[in-house]
A = this chain, B = another copy of it.
């Protein structure tokens, strides 16, 4: 391991070496002024970009490997929400200093997730400054196959993949009151630091879901984006929200509700689909390794309404995570 690269160019080489994946469609990778890439004929390009800022999107003491993983995961999650197949990424890494050990661990975290999806790192920039990571991901999708936020219809069922609330609970466990979670804390923190983008599940939604979004800012906030884009309302039942055994073991219903409704960073897919065909879709999702749960239905109204076990509407303090709120 090279632990003493003196400058920007050393860091680029270090990251490139650890993130190399051979792909036929990468005609020129890192090392010139631009990458040259071949989009398969008959496919559209899906592009998304997301930034993580230290102290805002992850705690300052998060490990470099976790940051590398998460910086890619949050971007792949956006491709998943469109139903796109990941292909390439660029990485803009701003670091306080040229720290080779940190960059090595970061690159290894990034590469571990990239390999799962045969995603190639094709370009990047390393700069000096406060720790900030911007990844831009590229994927493919056949024309007409994408699932938008705007396609939801009244009467659709509302579904989420996996479980909700773990990441927010994990963040809580990192705080002063970590003891509250007992032995479950480690699993919850793992979900916060190493989210799993639901790429395979996004592909299964093509042509079958009417709308989809990934849960990055919190269920109520993100489902709210579907409602706004589709001019529909949503009614969800608190008791139906899927929770992990770690979350159930560690927190009471009131804390769980807060994490599940308003906590961000789960990177599950929230989608809406007509009742017709839903059961087969759920079976296919379960077989994919990550099932989905019905949590409510869309209405002709506006906004997101949450009902408790007695059917009473729950008042929410704020809709979710906003970076400038």
Check if A36 is an interface residue, CB within 8 A of chain B: yes
Q: Is the CB of A46 within 8 A of B35?
A: yes
Interface centre among A35, A52, A229 (most CB of B within 10 A): A35
Which residues of the partner chain B approach A52 to less than 8 Å between Cβ atoms? 127
Q: Which residues of B contact A175 (CB under 8 A)?
A: none
What is the CA–CA distance of A130 and B286 in the complex, to the nearest angstrom? 42
The answer to the question of A62 belonging to the interface, with a C-beta cut-off of 8 Å to chain B, is no
A148 and B36 CA atoms in complex are apart in Å by 11
A324 with B32, Cβ < 8 A, contacts A94-B53, A143-B27 known: no
Query: Hey, which chain B residues are within 8 Å of A92, CB to CB?
Result: 49-51, 92, 134, 136
Whether the Cβ atoms of B127 and A51 lie closer than 8 Å is yes
Q: Cβ of A322 < 8 Å from any Cβ of B? A: yes
Please measure, in the bound complex, the distance between the C-alpha atom of A213 and the C-alpha atom of B88, giving whole angstroms.
23
A213 to B44, CA, bound (A): 30
Q: Looking at the complex, which one of B33, B143, B149, B322 makes contact with A32 (CB distance below 8 Å)?
A: B149
Annotate A286-325 by CB proximity to B: 1 below 8 A, 0 otherwise. 0000000000000000000000000000000000001111
Once the chains bind, are A136 and B90 in contact (CB under 8 Å)?
A: yes
Q: Is the CB of B34 within 8 A of A48?
A: yes
Contact of A44 among B27, B139, B212, B214 (CB under 8 A): B27
B-contacting 9-mer, from A75-83, A240-248, A258-266: A75-83
- Which residue of chain B has the shortest Cβ distance to A50 in the bound complex? B125
Determine the distance from Cα of A124 to Cα of B46 in the docked complex, in whole angstroms.
13
> Looking at the complex, which one of B54, B138, B141, B322 makes contact with A47 (CB distance below 8 Å)?
B138
Q: How far is the CA of A129 from the CA of B324 in the complex (A)?
A: 10
Given A7-B322, A28-B148, A139-B34, A90 and B49 contact (CB-CB distance below 8 Å): yes
Task: Report the Cα distance A56→B9, complex, angstroms.
Answer: 17
Additional A-B contacts beyond A33-B81, A34-B48, A37-B44 (14; CB < 8 A)? A7-B322, A7-B323, A8-B322, A27-B143, A28-B148, A33-B82, A36-B141, A39-B39, A47-B123, A51-B94, A54-B129, A56-B128, A94-B132, A129-B130
